[in-house]
Amino acid sequence: MVSTMKKTKTILITGANKGIGFAIVKALLEQFPETHLFFSCRDKHRSVAAINSLTSIVPGSESRLDAIIMDVSNRDSIQSAASQIECLLSQKGLRLYGIVNNAGIMNSPTGVEDVVRVNTLGPKYVLDYFYHLLEPDIGRVVNITSAAGPNYLSRCNDRTRKILTHQEVTWEQILELTEEFIRQYQESSDSEKELLNSNVYGFSKACTNALTMQQARSHTTIKINSCTPGFIETDMTLPLAQNRGKSPQEMGMKAPEEGTGSCIHLLMNDVTTGHYFGSDCVRSPIDRYRAPGTPAFNG
Ligand SMILES: NC(=O)c1ccc[n+]([C@@H]2O[C@H](COP(=O)([O-])OP(=O)(O)OC[C@H]3O[C@@H](n4cnc5c(N)ncnc54)[C@H](OP(=O)(O)O)[C@@H]3O)[C@@H](O)[C@H]2O)c1
């Protein structure tokens, strides 16, 4: 007799306690009954509150969730989360199917370094510490980046653009650029700091799109891609509307549930590897903005 039971897909989602991460977890629980999720966030109290709210929205989901505390800006925290998940997987007799590097920040009161640490070094070290747990032939990694990455590369200096769009880009080159950016910030005047603060989010996401190409080249048996969720109303973007005295809808922001499509597509459908996708699940260039609904990028 042929079994019709689907094998459990275990997926780690970082920054899962709110916003787009929370919506991705909810969508996976509701639409993919065969999934078991490692619900990761950096704060225990926020984790408990978010899981309580999730289990009331999706009845019966308790048994499909394991809470993991992980601060993606801290390598010890990533390593200890990886050990914890390794134990949980071995108890279940499973491997890790997918990783969603969703945790991100737009700015930090302490300057640009934190933004690079969370948005670029986070996805790098998460894969470093979790790679050995992934299903060798079918594993998936989705790095949630942003259209701010292509927008940044469309107006930055030629050298940075050339490095971050080169198909053979190395991690050492990406790291060097991040160190240069941080050094420039430390050595700059207050007005220059303001400009760098406003650019660091796009810069960090451009670096993560380049990292995605590099990771896909180094790990050829699994699928590693990045995507933008679209312009979504969350705690990250609300200040943008408030500062302009507009509502999130007037700004064109969508609900978090509408920001999950590209991530779910890259996790669950037949896709290529090493590419960046728009919120409409269509492949997009990493050095200029491609609007949803316009033709796919084939470069
Ligand atoms: N919203 C948009 O329009 C938009 C557009 C393009 C891309 N994105 C990307 O989508 C992702 C999710 O953003 P969002 O809009 O949902 O923002 P959000 O509501 O602010 O959520 C960000 C999540 O990241 C977590 N996080 C931040 N620093 C962390 C760290 N060091 N370790 C672990 N978790 C950390 C936050 O945890 P705490 O609650 O503990 O702070 C939170 O769970 C980000 O990568 C963002 O850049 C968003």
Q: Which atom of ligand 1 is nearest to the CA of 23?
A: 16
Class level of CATH domain 9-284: alpha beta
Percent residues over pLDDT 90 in the chain = 98
Closest-CA residue, ligand 1 atom 44, reads: 104
Ligand 1 near 223 CB (within 6 A): no
Q: Output the pLDDT for position 188.
A: 97
Ligand 1 near 47 CB (within 6 A): no
Closest-CA residue, ligand 1 atom 20, reads: 236
Ligand 1 near 103 CB (within 6 A): yes
Place of tokens 């899981």: 51
* Tokens found for residue 70: 């992980």
d(CA 210, CA 162): 11
* Contacts of the segment 1-9: beta carbons below 8 A, 24+ positions apart: 6/34, 7/34, 8/34, 8/35, 8/36, 8/92, 8/94, 9/34, 9/35, 9/36, 9/97, 9/98
Query: Around Cβ 27, how many Cβ atoms within 10 Å?
Result: 18
Q: Give the strand pairing for 276-277 and 283-284.
A: antiparallel
d(CA 120, CA 263): 18
Which of 44, 45, 105 for a ligand 1 pocket mutation test, highest count of atoms within 8 Å of Cβ? Answer: 105
Instruction: Compute the mean pLDDT over every residue in the chain, rounded to the nearest whole number.
Output: 97
| Amino acid code (one letter) for 100 | V
Q: Give strand pairing partners of 225.
A: 142
Query: Around Cβ 172, how many Cβ atoms within 10 Å?
Result: 9
Q: Give strand pairing partners of 140.
A: 98, 223
Read off the pLDDT band of 5 (50, 70, 90): low
For residue range 156-182, what is the model confidence (pLDDT) as tens digits?
Answer: 999 999 999 999 999 999 999 999 999
Q: Can you tell me the mean pLDDT for 197-204?
A: 98
CA of 15 to the centre of ligand 1 (A): 6
Rg (C-alpha) for the chain, rounded Å, is 19
Ligand 1 near 248 CB (within 6 A): no
Closest-CA residue, ligand 1 atom 29, reads: 103
Quick check: 4 pLDDT over 90?
no
Q: Can you tell me the mean pLDDT for 36-50?
A: 98
**What separation in angstroms does the CA of 132 have from each of 47, 97, 163, 208?**
26, 11, 28, 21
SS3 137: coil
For residue range 182-194, what is the model confidence (pLDDT) as tens digits?
Answer: 999 999 999 999 9
* Tokens found for residue 255: 């609900």
For residue range 207-249, what is the model confidence (pLDDT) as tens digits?
Answer: 999 999 999 999 999 999 999 999 999 999 999 999 999 999 9
For residue range 279-295, what is the model confidence (pLDDT) as tens digits?
Answer: 999 999 999 999 999 99
The Cα diameter of the chain in Å comes to 72
d(CA 197, CA 296): 31
d(CA 73, CA 95): 24
pTM: 0.98
Closest-CA residue, ligand 1 atom 19, reads: 19
Q: Give strand pairing partners of 41.
A: 69
User: Is residue 266 within 8 Å of residue 225, measured between CB atoms?
Assistant: yes
Ligand 1 near 161 CB (within 6 A): no
- Ordered by start, the domain boundaries in the chain are 9-284
Closest-CA residue, ligand 1 atom 42, reads: 15
CA of 19 to the centre of ligand 1 (A): 7
Q: Can you tell me the mean pLDDT for 240-265?
A: 97
Q: Output the pLDDT for position 6.
A: 80
Ligand 1 near 178 CB (within 6 A): no
